[in-house]
Amino acid sequence: MTSYLLAGGGTAGHVNPLLAVADALRERDAAASVLVLGTAEGLESRLVPERGYELLIVDKVPFPRRPNRQAVAFLSRFRRAIAQVRAHIRRHDVDVVVGFGGYASAPAYVAARRERVPFVVHEANAKPGLANVLGARGAAGVGVAFAGTPLRGSEVVGMPLRREVIALDRTATRAEAAAHFGLDADRPVLLVFGGSLGAQRLNEAMADSWGDILAAGWQLLHVTGERSDMVDPEVPGYAMRRYVDRMDLAFALADLIVSRSGSATVSEISALGIPALYVPYSVGNGEQRLNAASAVTAGAAQLLDDATFDGDAVRRFVLPLLGDRERVKQMAEAAQKVGTRTGTENVIALIDRALGAA
């Protein structure tokens, strides 16, 4: 029986690909032991047990960004976290460790090396996190979601995606999706969303321009986010939702998308071959702009600046595209060549290779 330890968490961007790989490993071999390493504070503390996996806890030890009291205590705390992971590896006779980034991954990589257990790194963002930068130096395999990600020894494997996205037949599902949202399956649809909490910049731009979008002959499916206080105008052709638990249906209906460019969002949109206008979130280290780079280079997407994205920007940049059906078609064709639905299988192939080499 093979024992796998999947390390990662903190955010959905780390937890969701981890769970996709965990599910595939369990489906392939029901006798395998699939364990997850995470912190007690991260999103994994809720999502992992809900999915039926045992969560092994490691202390959350952030890397110090400046010399202060926390930096002084870092080494002792990090050594303690490594010791915790080493104990987990021994107790569960772990054969291979797979890290997806986040606080749990850094001590997992060090612990695996010291226990002489092979480990694999998967990086979801085009700009890698520090844990994966360090882990890649000694990994048996390194997979990245996007071409050009600067990680030593990496190969492009894509993103492990949700099963409902991988299995989606957009053409066959379009009529069901239109009925679900109360829209017309025979008319084009612009999908706008900013994640589960929404994106105020996108919402404000749509509030000022939805009438222009409808006047251009398009329908609008707008997911505002749970915290939004936008008022639904309740007009034909405009479906406003605060939250959508069937994003596969939203994707099935979308002929063009306006969204943020988180790694999972870009990977799902690219895998489904949908043209997009990305408005990268300006806060952070710039990874959202980089995440969209390969789709933009391929002609499948365009970038719009967050700071200037408003109703006027929609009228200047989005409306001309809505009126150019041939250009949208060309972007869709380019999108078909950018993404992959085999990210999960590709990561498992890295894991199997690491096990074989060991």
The answer, yes or no, to whether residue 281 has pLDDT greater than 80, is yes
Q: What is the mean pLDDT of residues 104-133?
A: 96
Q: Residue 343's pLDDT is what?
A: 97
Contact 100, 124 (CB under 8 A): yes
- Tell me what percent of the residues of the chain surpass a pLDDT of 90: 85
Q: Do 315 and 186 share a structural domain?
A: yes
182-203 CB burial, b ≥16 within 10 A, e <16: ebeeeebbbbbbbbeebbebbb
Q: Residue 63's pLDDT is what?
A: 78
Q: Do 241 and 123 share a structural domain?
A: no
Q: Residue 66's pLDDT is what?
A: 67
The answer, yes or no, to whether residue 291 has pLDDT greater than 80, is yes
Q: What is the mean pLDDT of residues 44-62?
A: 94
Q: Do 225 and 105 share a structural domain?
A: no
Q: Residue 358's pLDDT is what?
A: 76
- Tell me what percent of the residues of the chain surpass a pLDDT of 70: 96
Structural domain count, the chain? 2
pLDDT, averaged across the chain: 94
Q: Residue 263's pLDDT is what?
A: 93
The answer, yes or no, to whether residue 319 has pLDDT greater than 60, is yes
Q: What is the mean pLDDT of residues 256-275?
A: 95
Q: Do 253 and 196 share a structural domain?
A: yes
The predicted-structure confidence for 114-125, as pLDDT tens digits, reads as follows 999 999 999 999
Q: Do 172 and 136 share a structural domain?
A: no
Looking at 5-14, 175-184, 204-213, which range is the least confident one? Answer: 5-14
The token pair at 148 is: 């050009």
Q: Do 189 and 52 share a structural domain?
A: no
Q: Residue 284's pLDDT is what?
A: 67
Q: Residue 3's pLDDT is what?
A: 98
Q: Do 119 and 155 share a structural domain?
A: yes
The phi, psi pair for 97, rounded to 5°, reads -110, 135
Q: Do 93 and 173 share a structural domain?
A: no
Q: What is the mean pLDDT of residues 169-187?
A: 98
The answer, yes or no, to whether residue 28 has pLDDT greater than 80, is yes
The answer, yes or no, to whether residue 198 has pLDDT greater than 70, is no
The answer, yes or no, to whether residue 327 has pLDDT greater than 70, is yes
Which residue type, as a one-letter code, is found at position 153?
G
The answer, yes or no, to whether residue 21 has pLDDT greater than 90, is yes
Rounded CA-CA distance 106/307 in Å is 34
Q: Do 157 and 8 share a structural domain?
A: yes
Looking at 220-229, 248-257, 270-279, 297-306, which range is the least confident one? Answer: 220-229
The answer, yes or no, to whether residue 197 has pLDDT greater than 60, is no
Q: Residue 71's pLDDT is what?
A: 67
Distances (CA, A) of 224 to 3, 76, 115: 42, 44, 47
Q: Do 90 and 25 share a structural domain?
A: yes
Q: Residue 64's pLDDT is what?
A: 76
**Residue 68: pLDDT band with limits 50, 70, 90:** low
User: 299-303 contacts: CB < 8 A, separation 24 or more?
Assistant: 299/330, 299/331, 299/334, 300/270, 300/275, 300/276, 300/331, 300/332, 300/334, 300/335, 300/337, 300/338, 301/269, 301/275, 301/276, 301/277, 301/331, 301/335, 302/276, 302/277, 302/278, 303/277, 303/278, 303/279
CATH assignment at residue 174: 3.40.50.2000
Q: Which residue has the higher pLDDT, 12 or 79?
A: 79
The token pair at 10 is: 């903190």
Q: What is the mean pLDDT of residues 155-175?
A: 96
The answer, yes or no, to whether residue 196 has pLDDT greater than 90, is no
Q: Do 116 and 138 share a structural domain?
A: yes
Q: What is the mean pLDDT of residues 151-166?
A: 95
Q: Do 172 and 282 share a structural domain?
A: yes
The predicted-structure confidence for 300-318, as pLDDT tens digits, reads as follows 999 999 999 999 999 999 9
The range of the structural domain enclosing residue 112 comes to: 3-161+341-357
Q: Residue 199's pLDDT is what?
A: 84
